[in-house]
Structure 1
Amino acid sequence: MKKYCLTLDLKDDATLIAEYEAYHQNVWPEILKSIKDSGIESMQIYRLGTRMMMIIEAKDDFSFEKKGAMDAANPKVQEWEELMWKYQQALPMAKEGEKWMLMEKIFEY
């Protein structure tokens, strides 16, 4: 099992943040299926203000490249991602089109 932490910001708007959280209380079943089918066993998203952190636990053969290809071929995932972008904003260091960014682990106990 592998663990990944990613980060992304939300737009600084209380109404939009509330809407974003509401969507995540009732994630579309097609999105949950795509997460599972990609090899992800567990996913959590935490928020502090506008900063979010996603923790993924995935099977050893999981890859972001494979998940990206699966997502690109799934119209429902594309619809979800487009909708979520209404609420999200790229981090200042993100490349064009980059959303969730992989964090580097710097400490473990």
Structure 2
Amino acid sequence: MKRYCLALDLVNDPALITEYEAYHQNVWPEIKDSITSAGITSMEIYRFGNRLFMIMETDGSFSFARKGEMDALNPKVQEWEQLMWKYQQAIPGARSGEKWVLMDRIFKLEE
């Protein structure tokens, strides 16, 4: 298992944030299928203000390149991503067109 943590900002508009959260209370089944079929075994998204933080746990079959290829060939994922971009904005420091940005772990408590 490997864990990835990513960040993204939402457009700082309370009505849009409410809509975004509503979509995530009823994620389309095709989107859930695309996530699990890519080797993502667990995914959580947290929000503070307009900042989002995602935690993904993956199995050995997962890679960002493979997920990107699968998503590019999936019309329903493309539809979802286009819809979500209405609510999302690039986080400071993101490359052009980049949505979720991979975060670097700087601390881990080891016992």
When normalised by structure 1's length, the TM-score is 0.99
Identity of aligned pairs, percent?
66
When normalised by structure 2's length, the TM-score is 0.97
Find the aligned partners of 1:91 and 1:32 in 2 and give their Cα distance.
24
Aligned length: 109
Superposition RMSD in Å: 0.5
How far residue 60 of structure 1 moved from its aligned partner, in angstroms, is: 2.1
Matches within 5 A, 1:1-109: 1-109=1-109
How far residue 91 of structure 1 moved from its aligned partner, in angstroms, is: 1.1
Q: Which runs of 5+ in 2 are unaligned?
A: none
AA at the equivalent of 1:2: K
Runs of 4+ aligned structure 1 residues displaced above 3 Å come to none
User: Which digits, 9 at most, give the CA deviation of each residue in 1:83-106, with x for residues without a partner?
Assistant: 000000001211111000000000
Q: Which runs of 5+ in 1 are unaligned?
A: none
- 2:41–2:57 Cα contact (<8 Å) kept: yes
How far residue 14 of structure 1 moved from its aligned partner, in angstroms, is: 0.2
SS at match of 1:47: strand
